[in-house]
Structure 1
């Protein structure tokens, strides 16, 4: 993070917090596999009026990073969410979980949420909510702790928006609300209702049609917040879990790489914050300050007037003042051919890029800056000393939905 003059930082900080006198409602929306170039304010081919209005009326995070795949991002995003409940929040999750479920202890309602509606696995069909994995097949949809097939035929993006709106409409206005909406969209498979085909009929890309549906769902959720009188006291955070999967239509232009990769296209994410609590003088801005998905937990807990006792050491930092004080952009993304997403797949396994000056990772500096390489490798070794090894357990035959009434769910 760039150093700032102390007096400027301090005055802005006081101004922000003077208008934030009570616990805000928090609406946290996560898109799945949403590419950097798959939103209207990055790509005029996309029709995302609701997302664009929210982003352009808020603060766009243009130097914001996540993990290259789903679960690591989600776990870092939500680690320690109990602190929101301790701060008096009603906590609700609607959508994709993908954070473990082999025991009842690990489903959302046992991990800090008052309610859950959605699916537990990493992906499924949008209409039938059916998943086949490792030769095991079953339905994955839950209302609280109960598996259900009552929504077979209902498109998930629409369904999750309706359930989120139900939460909003039934919320006790005397309590602060934390609503977590991790959409299935725009993850494969490429399925979308016919009515969203028309805006992109000239483009042979169903993925973009899924984006239009998600955009409408976000608009419906924010409209419901407005109708309940919650919007003026709400902080909306929108993020993707990782970069777009180009094999399934995602587009991370002009960044290099894709979901699963450690190039910027896999981790440099779409993200923005919209809230009247940041003050009108801050809205409509883009910040190039570095931010990571691990920062959301301490940022939102502090914003909610909770505490971080028992959660340290944390990797993230409270970024609210950074989000609210916007320095001028120091660089822009250069124009490149939209189809130029080079792989860099060869025998080389180490590169060094100056992301601020070279955001599309074209100029390798590893040979000209060996001192920086050594310093960064030493830092990685320090992290590795405390890293927990990855565990890849063998498939458990007890997890077969055929043994669980045809549903994916806890089996131990």
Structure 2
């Protein structure tokens, strides 16, 4: 058992510390051919991957082909303690608002297409804030924060231009989702011309168009929320052919989807360089949550426990990095605490904001990112649910999960490896209490709740304080499902029914 433990420890260290950058034809950055002087304020490109696991990038898993991501991460700052919510909509709401999802009614799973609501309209979202600071604002890809009326859509929340989809997921080629409704829009108009075009090609291409057409005298904010690597498992065959040694077909397709996304990012980086904008652009990359854990095992959160939907690290600790010339220290791994709610105040500060909403949960961590100074964040809420009482909190290095959940939390070795580790699972029981020391036990293998009852009590008291600001979970909108039917809007999902 001791020998096996040493093997596991060595393997985890190798995955965490091994940085690899491979040559790849898609990352041939072109020389700057533009002499136009860009805006002095930095441009901001925020790239959000969907359902990307902790072990689904090359710099943490050398079997994954992501040369663009690896190069940007190596040249920038790798974020090793960056957290998001457990699933799609909650994380996106946190990023856009600076508020914990449980304070928005977004603590449960994703927003459905028949929900007559969205992020509360009294809140100013990040793109609107950046507009006020003189930025042009563009969004490409997945919104997933409500669209029942125009005020809830990307255009209604501060984006000058939007190209993408409102819902959770859909076919990557037909862009048709639930109830056979088309969900692809350019601003408010459905785009019916792209049946057969792979979404990653489509979204990276549209981002390049926005960059090319942008007025360089103004700074811009580009929010590029890829559909990859969310289900369904679909990718052009040229990408699955890059992984001939991976026997698991689902894993091979998922790996291809990751590499396709990496190629899309390369196109965006090339466009920034070509138009003389890269040197003055801050690039942020993050996943919205960990990879799902299901019977297909196509995602990889190894060596973290759990996956999408759970409050364990595999569901909430996001792979990510930042890159830009405005960073004073680069080429290292940042181990300071950062949460998704921190992006709003931090990026607003980068853009020149002097005041922010004092009720916001987010903290300005710009000096933490720019200089590797200690983070002002010492604790955060993973989530607080009221329908099936469940909550999680981190205070310094300790993490507490209390309550009920239907999720099991496994540590699943990546399917592409030949290592024969056992799948280690924890079944969450009713009224369970789980305490972990993440500094010494990042894989959440040893529950300390019985050994440290006083710490459990103290952290549970902090949860109860946070609960005072809980907003009830948003109505799922079953009674208005017929009103939102795409057949009422020419076969496409559209606002205007609530």
TM-score, length basis structure 1: 0.89
CA contact (8 A) 2:307 2:314 kept: yes
Displacement of 1:314: 1.4
Q: 2:222 matched to 1:179?
A: yes
Matches within 5 A, 1:10-409: 22-79=40-97, 80-81=125-126, 82-132=128-178, 136-203=179-246, 204=248, 205=251, 206-247=253-294, 249-279=298-328, 282-309=329-356, 311-326=357-372, 337-338=413-414, 342-347=424-429, 349-395=432-478, 396=480, 397-409=482-494
Which sections of structure 1, spanning at least 5 residues, go unmatched? 1-20
Select the structure with the greater relative contact order (CA < 8 A; seq sep ≥ 6).
Answer: 1
CA distance in 2, matches of 1:347, 1:246: 18
Q: Determine helix, strand or coil for the equivalent of 1:30.
A: strand
Which sections of structure 2, spanning at least 5 residues, go unmatched? 1-38, 98-124, 375-396, 398-410, 415-420
CA distance in 1, matches of 2:412, 2:47: 30
Question: More deviation in 145-154 or 44-53?
Answer: 145-154
CA distance in 1, matches of 2:216, 2:475: 44
CA distance in 1, matches of 2:142, 2:148: 16
Displacement of 1:184: 0.3
CA distance in 2, matches of 1:341, 1:269: 22
CA distance in 1, matches of 2:428, 2:352: 49
Displacement of 1:344: 1.2
CA distance in 1, matches of 2:79, 2:423: 22
Q: Give the root-mean-square deviation of aligned CA atoms.
A: 1.8
Structure 1 segments of 4 or more deviating over 3 A?
335-343
CA distance in 2, matches of 1:229, 1:337: 43
Displacement of 1:291: 0.7
Q: Determine helix, strand or coil for the equivalent of 2:53.
A: coil
Displacement of 1:381: 0.8
CA distance in 2, matches of 1:127, 1:61: 32
Q: Determine helix, strand or coil for the equivalent of 2:463.
A: helix
Q: Deviations over 1:264-291 (max 9, x none)?
A: 0000110100011113xx2110011111
CA contact (8 A) 2:412 2:424 kept: no
TM-score, length basis structure 2: 0.74
CA contact (8 A) 1:58 1:283 kept: yes
